[in-house]
């Protein structure tokens, strides 16, 4: 529990000083300014008081118990300070000080020693190299942070790895007239982790939605578990920065995390039911709408405008984001017709036209909100000089205040900023651009879609785990690719259909091998040095008899002499629709699984879905259906579709395999030949690397 | 010339009244308020004066010459008013009144009659159903419009079909502290057309960049010509609204345009060198940067930040938008190292860190601007409380004021709005979000890329135009698909490689046909009713001898009995990489050409490029290279690439064909088999519809 961090009964500031630019001074000022509801104890070796507060030389001199300390002294003083805090029984230390993991191995060692020392005393470390926390709950009113963004009560909580980005989220909520609930920018995550913070915010009844911005995951599996438990109840609007390879370099220099985790982030966010953003604007606007309005219960949008063009812009944006344009019931149509000006357009968007008065707006909004086919409404309004706008605002408030569906507005105005302010005060999010409102609503709709998905555990599968373990163990620690026969054996142990095959090392073995495999067959070279077998001339297909097999063998034998090859004689499978299933170990998570159409679709179009192993049935289905080329699997232009159940099963089994054996560093089933129901879906080539 | 519209020597307002909500009254007020530099004559049948201006019963009563009138009387009064204006020698009439094309056929007739009447007198009509125009040139200061957005001198001109969207562009420039140069929202475009307006703005020396928002093109070909002549000198930032099918329905009800023109708009914009936007925010922000800063001369960006996270966000956005991250010269690196704080990060982004002072910012900016590998710079700054921000702003101004490369900023601040204001005043565009500045710069870079493309006329091609004309004439007016043999004949006339083939109507003809074509051959049914031949069992491939051909014929003959089929015996071409070339007639433009990889890539992935016929060589090349799957044509994974010159030639010929024969309503060459150089690229199936 993080109550000691977010609801401390008393706080001390170590490094408090009278230097107005020191972090310690600023933290004291913030605690005072925002009216922290507990005693504050400045700690300073020399000063007698800081501001109006009596100062102490050490926390040990403070007569009262202390839950939380903020520490901003130089890192070389930290061990002493931590020791004293431990002895004092402090529960949490927010360490602002830098000079830890982010500066390299020496700093990392310092960091680990600090945490170990703290844990000896039951003290938890937040940071180091961190900003701090807010809790705007009036019963606490804690601003234990050295920055300048305002804090007032709200219902959105913020978690940001980067303080600069976190403050930006704060700031723009503020610019919108909104407060926030809790805030955390957690620095190096040496002890208190992001998932812990997230879990705490998830349980906070005052938090309606969470904004989360991460650069990297220290505990991806834990994050997945925690977030998955929150999203059925409240939205997590999430963004991963450092998505590009170049961005990842920046991350590397910024937080010491070296692996590009963009695809993993997308997979985890989706699996956990988080709405992912790639743009800070949209993230903030989604939070604004969620803060003020109910969340949509579907994706059908009703649009109202009093001028044509921006209505069209709204339609474009809604369609681009996958929303559906509502249609009205006969009753609704009739009411619109009876209530609006004859020039009004009664389709979607409803164009009430520029001369529409307060009653016209009311009728349009009220009608749409009562329509069963409407899940959310956006109103665009240009402030026409010949309309009583205050009356319009009043009626809009009336129409929306009891609504159980979200309503957002975009207003185009020069002078009536007061109108925007008033509407916002009455709970209607007002944006500048038609696109903004649509995006904010679409985020809510995506949350609804994600939380409405069936949730299941990964299924039990009939697998031969011990047989698989035997293969993995044979090669463990070699950090190399498995020979073909072993790789197929591993797949077969997990029930993944593979061709009949037999390994051969010499020409003499061909007869026996082909007797087992049958004709027509294929011959493939199997040597560590030959990565792209086909290109290297290491694959001979459709060999009809032993003579052809021998001829192919002789050719390869010449070609690969000196590379110590072995060979595999393999059943010639009928060519089907090529798909690929891949997997990769991911530290702290287990495995990631990739699915895509084979060949060009993966390599050129990058049309893949990535999921977290082991997959549940719904997650596997989501991956199959989620690729852009899904129609190809369903069957296009008279071609029959492939057996999707078989593909789903194969994907489940592959994901279970990598989840069960973390030593599988990389796995590629490429291609898999998928066929219409009746013909087995078979992995005809495989590469597996065991670490 | 539109001088009479934008620089009138005198203006009258017909429909001027003392009703403060009437359009006539508002236009008078706007003309007065913005200090129009000519006399204003209110026209009203009863009033003696409007405001302080003497009123006249008719323009014919006005003693002085009049260049421009604004008309807002009911449409039934229009003919009389136009007649009087004509007699008076008025040059332009801005018709605000509605009730014309937008209300249906009757209104369209009214509109055409109005224009005809006006032209009898040499009077030009602007509108009807239009807002009006601005010219902020202080020598004119014309606000001949009934809306409320402010006008002050600036260098961005605005053309918007939708008044609501146009005002939005105005308003947001204003909110940014900027003015605009000229403004036009042109309504029904009955006489004065959008391309005329664009041409006028293009020639205006006071216009540095143009923002254009259209819903539909009335004269797409003319737009293409006009815009193409402007973009080498100044950017056109263009947006088409009503992109989605649903949006198009909204357009249809809004302006009476029925055809979805989204793909055409993208093709025209690209061909004309316009930077296309799909988001009004980004459009405005690009214009802001272009207004205040030089345009970039490349796409390499240097980033500066004083806090890590937003720097990473900037990198992500830059990479997403195809910008390149600059690297520094040794000299540049050295200067950064010598000038900045030791904690600073000297990569791209340069992180000067939060404690950086004015000199540090100056050094970073000045260094980057002098780097040969930097085309543009974005600076992100969080306003740290312990830094002299006024000094920072001064030094930023010094560093940037003489720059020939664009610099934009994003500032995160709570209280220092004054700083943003001051920086904007000194010519630095300051945005709220890191992404905004990047997008604005990327738009400038895209303009540079577009204008740097080679420009060539469509090439002369050796085609047999008369032979082609003979085929087209045989079928003109039938609005039907050509028989296969005729369609291939048409292609062959334009030098497009086709298989050898012979049409047959009966079993008896097979021997002669196959003697001409040779074996192996294919047999295809050719009947109007059979659209998807393969799916219908109307294609037999790889027939090795006459017996096989006859068997295939017999089967089809049974299958298609009653559909009056004919048949084509066709050379069996070796299967190659499938590509598709399509074309469609486009009213007012000529033809549009489509290129994509065949089959799934077009049907499922929608990976196509569309261009305007006839194509120039660079335009054809751009289409080939522009599909996402281009790597497939180049050759992937050891597969050889296809003959790109042959594909380019085929695309040029197809585009020439549809440009030369507007009667070709639709054409599909699908599939075309492309091969590595040496094997001809051949269209093996074709459908051509003649209207």
Indicate if the pLDDT at residue A640 is higher than 50: yes
Min CA distance, A215 vs chain B (Å)?
A: 8
Give me the residue from B162, B311, B629 closest to A605, CB to CB: B629
Indicate if the pLDDT at residue A517 is higher than 80: yes
Q: What is the ipTM of this complex?
A: 0.90
Flag if A21 and B386 touch (Cβ within 8 Å): yes
Give me the residue from B21, B534, B604 closest to A636, CB to CB: B604
Indicate if the pLDDT at residue A127 is higher than 70: yes
Task: Please tell me the distance from the alpha carbon of residue B406 to that of residue A410, in angstroms, as a whole number.
Answer: 31
Band of residue A603 on the pLDDT scale cut at 50, 70, 90 = confident
Indicate if the pLDDT at residue A247 is higher than 90: no
Q: What is the mean pLDDT of residues A214-235?
A: 96
Flag if B433 and A150 touch (Cβ within 8 Å): no
DSSP character at residue B432? S
Band of residue A445 on the pLDDT scale cut at 50, 70, 90 = very high
Report pLDDT for A257: 30
Indicate if the pLDDT at residue B257 is higher than 80: no
Report pLDDT for A636: 78
Query: Most B CBs within 10 Å: which of A164, A282, A633, A641, as the mutation test of the B interface?
Result: A164
Helix (H, G, I), strand (E, B) or coil at A260: coil
pLDDT digits 0-9 by tens, A158-190: 999 999 999 999 999 999 999 999 999 999 999
Band of residue A600 on the pLDDT scale cut at 50, 70, 90 = confident
Task: Please tell me the distance from the alpha carbon of residue A257 to that of residue A250, in angstroms, as a whole number.
Answer: 10
Contacts of A249 in chain B (CB under 8 A): 347
Let me know the angle formed at the C-alpha of A246 by A245 and A250, rounded to the nearest 5 degrees: 115
Band of residue B534 on the pLDDT scale cut at 50, 70, 90 = confident
Residue of B nearest to A149 (CA): B414
Task: Please tell me the distance from the alpha carbon of residue B94 to that of residue B72, in angstroms, as a whole number.
Answer: 9
Give me the residue from B246, B251, B414 closest to A319, CB to CB: B246
Task: Please tell me the distance from the alpha carbon of residue B292 to that of residue A407, in angstroms, as a whole number.
Answer: 37
Q: What is the mean pLDDT of residues A99-111?
A: 93
Average pLDDT taken over every residue of chain B: 93
Of B367, B358, B360, nearest to B394 by C-alpha is: B358
Rg of chain B taking only CA atoms, in angstroms: 31
Between A4 and B250, residue with greater pLDDT: A4
Task: Name residue, tokens 């294609």.
Answer: B539
Strand order in the sheet with A68-71: A40-43, A11-14, A68-71, A92-95, A124-126
Of A370, A369, A363, A419, nearest to A394 by C-alpha is: A419
Beta bridge partners of A50: A53
Contacts of A171 in chain B (CB under 8 A): 412-414
Dihedral sign, CA of A551, A555, A558, A560? negative
End-to-end CA distance of chain A: 37
Flag if B628 and A251 touch (Cβ within 8 Å): no
Min CA distance, A199 vs chain B (Å)?
A: 23
Q: What is the mean pLDDT of residues B307-318?
A: 93
Band of residue A535 on the pLDDT scale cut at 50, 70, 90 = confident
Task: Please tell me the distance from the alpha carbon of residue A26 to that of residue A22, in angstroms, as a whole number.
Answer: 6
DSSP B257-272: --S--HHHHHHHHHHH
pLDDT digits 0-9 by tens, A290-349: 999 999 999 999 999 999 899 999 999 999 999 999 999 999 999 999 999 998 999 999
Q: What is the mean pLDDT of residues B271-286?
A: 96
Which helix (H) or strand (E) covers residue A492, if one does?
helix A484-493
Min CA distance, B412 vs chain A (Å)?
A: 7
Report pLDDT for B532: 75
Report pLDDT for B246: 54
Task: Please tell me the distance from the alpha carbon of residue A129 to that of residue A100, in angstroms, as a whole number.
Answer: 7
Report pLDDT for A256: 25
Contacts of A172 in chain B (CB under 8 A): 432
Question: What pTM value is reported for the model?
Answer: 0.93
Helix (H, G, I), strand (E, B) or coil at B647: helix
Residue A544 vs residues A548, A552, A572, A576, B9: alpha-carbon distances, Å: 6, 11, 10, 20, 92
Cβ–Cβ pairs < 8 A, chains A and B:
228
Band of residue A246 on the pLDDT scale cut at 50, 70, 90 = low
Query: Most B CBs within 10 Å: which of A250, A350, A417, as the mutation test of the B interface?
Result: A250
Report pLDDT for A550: 96
Min CA distance, B253 vs chain A (Å)?
A: 8
Cβ count near B209 (within 10 Å): 24
pLDDT digits 0-9 by tens, A386-410: 789 999 999 999 999 999 999 999 9
pLDDT digits 0-9 by tens, A551-596: 999 999 999 888 888 899 999 999 899 999 988 888 899 899 999 9
Min CA distance, A512 vs chain B (Å)?
A: 33
Indicate if the pLDDT at residue B73 is higher than 60: yes
Give me the residue from A250, A307, A534 closest to B315, CB to CB: A250
Dihedral sign, CA of B150, B153, B156, B157? positive
Report pLDDT for B245: 63
Average pLDDT taken over every residue of chain A: 93
Helix (H, G, I), strand (E, B) or coil at B275: strand
Q: What is the mean pLDDT of residues A258-286?
A: 88
In chain A, the percentage of residues whose pLDDT exceeds 90 is: 81
Report pLDDT for A598: 81
């Amino acid at each position: 529990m993080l109550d000691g961090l977010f609801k401390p009964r008393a706080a001390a500031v170590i490094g408090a000083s009278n230097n107005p630019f020191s972090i310690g001074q600023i933290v004291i000022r913030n605690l005072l300014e925002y009216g922290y509801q507990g005693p504050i104890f400045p700690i300073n070796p020399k000063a007698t008081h800081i501001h109006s507060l009596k100062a102490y030389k050490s926390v040990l001199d403070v007569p009262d118990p202390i839950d939380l300390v903020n520490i901003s002294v130089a890192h070389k003083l930290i061990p002493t300070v931590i020791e004293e805090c431990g002895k004092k029984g402090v529960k949490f230390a927010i360490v602002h000080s830098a000079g830890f993991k982010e500066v390299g191995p020496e700093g990392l060692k310092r960091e680990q020693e600090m945490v170990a020392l703290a844990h000896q005393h039951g003290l938890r470390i937040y940071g180091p190299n961190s900003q701090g926390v807010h809790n705007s709950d009036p019963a606490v009113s804690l601003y234990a942070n050295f920055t300048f963004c305002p804090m007032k009560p709200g219902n959105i909580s913020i978690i940001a790895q980067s303080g600069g980005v976190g403050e930006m989220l704060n700031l723009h909520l503020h610019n919108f007239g909104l407060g926030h609930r809790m805030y955390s920018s957690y620095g190096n995550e040496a002890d208190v982790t992001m998932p812990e913070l997230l879990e705490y915010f998830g349980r906070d009844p005052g938090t309606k939605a969470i904004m989360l911005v991460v650069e990297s995951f220290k505990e991806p599996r834990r994050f997945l578990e925690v977030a998955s438990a929150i999203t059925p109840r409240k939205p997590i609007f999430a963004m991963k920065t450092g998505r590009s390879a170049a961005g990842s370099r920046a991350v590397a220099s910024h937080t010491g995390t070296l692996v590009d985790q963009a695809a993993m982030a997308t997979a985890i966010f989706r699996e956990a039911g988080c709405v992912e953003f790639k743009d800070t604007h949209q993230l903030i606007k989604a939070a604004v709408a969620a803060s003020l309005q109910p969340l949509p219960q579907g994706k059908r949008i009703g649009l109202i405008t009093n001028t044509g063009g921006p209505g069209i812009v709204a339609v474009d944006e809604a369609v681009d984001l996958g929303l559906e344009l509502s249609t009205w019931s006969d009753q609704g149509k009739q009411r619109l017709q009876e209530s609006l000006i004859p020039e009004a357009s009664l389709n979607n968007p409803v164009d009430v036209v520029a001369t529409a008065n307060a009653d016209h707006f009311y009728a349009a909004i009220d009608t749409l909100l009562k329509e069963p086919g409407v899940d959310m409404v956006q109103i665009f309004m240009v402030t026409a000089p010949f309309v009583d706008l205050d009356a319009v605002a009043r009626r809009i408030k009336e129409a929306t205040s009891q609504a159980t569906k979200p309503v957002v507005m975009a207003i185009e105005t020069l002078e009536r900023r007061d109108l925007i302010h008033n509407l916002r005060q009455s709970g209607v999010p007002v944006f500048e651009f038609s696109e903004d409102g649509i995006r904010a609503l679409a985020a809510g709709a995506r949350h609804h879609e994600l939380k409405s998905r069936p949730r299941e555990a990964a299924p039990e599968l009939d697998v031969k785990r011990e047989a698989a373990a035997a293969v993995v163990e044979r090669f463990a620690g070699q950090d190399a690719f498995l020979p073909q026969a072993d790789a197929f054996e591993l797949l077969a142990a997990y029930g993944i259909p593979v061709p009949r095959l037999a390994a051969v090392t010499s020409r003499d073995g061909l007869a026996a091998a082909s007797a087992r495999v049958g004709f027509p067959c294929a011959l493939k070279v199997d040597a560590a040095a030959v990565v792209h077998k086909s290109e290297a001339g290491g694959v001979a297909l459709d060999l009809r008899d032993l003579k052809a097999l021998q001829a192919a063998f002789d050719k390869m034998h010449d070609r690969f002499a000196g590379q110590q090859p072995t060979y595999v004689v393999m059943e010639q499978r009928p060519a089907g629709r090529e798909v690929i299933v891949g997997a990769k170990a991911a530290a702290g998570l287990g495995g990631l699984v990739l699915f895509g159409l084979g060949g060009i679709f993966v390599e050129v179009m990058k049309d893949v879905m990535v999921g977290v192993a082991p997959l549940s049935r719904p997650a596997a289905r989501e991956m199959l259906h989620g690729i852009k080329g899904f129609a190809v699997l369903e069957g296009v232009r008279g071609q029959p579709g492939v057996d999707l159940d078989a593909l789903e099963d194969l994907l489940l089994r592959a994901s279970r395999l990598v989840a069960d054996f973390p030593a599988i560093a990389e796995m590629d089933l490429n291609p898999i030949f998928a066929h219409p129901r009746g013909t087995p879906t078979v992995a005809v080539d495989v590469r597996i690397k065991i670490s």
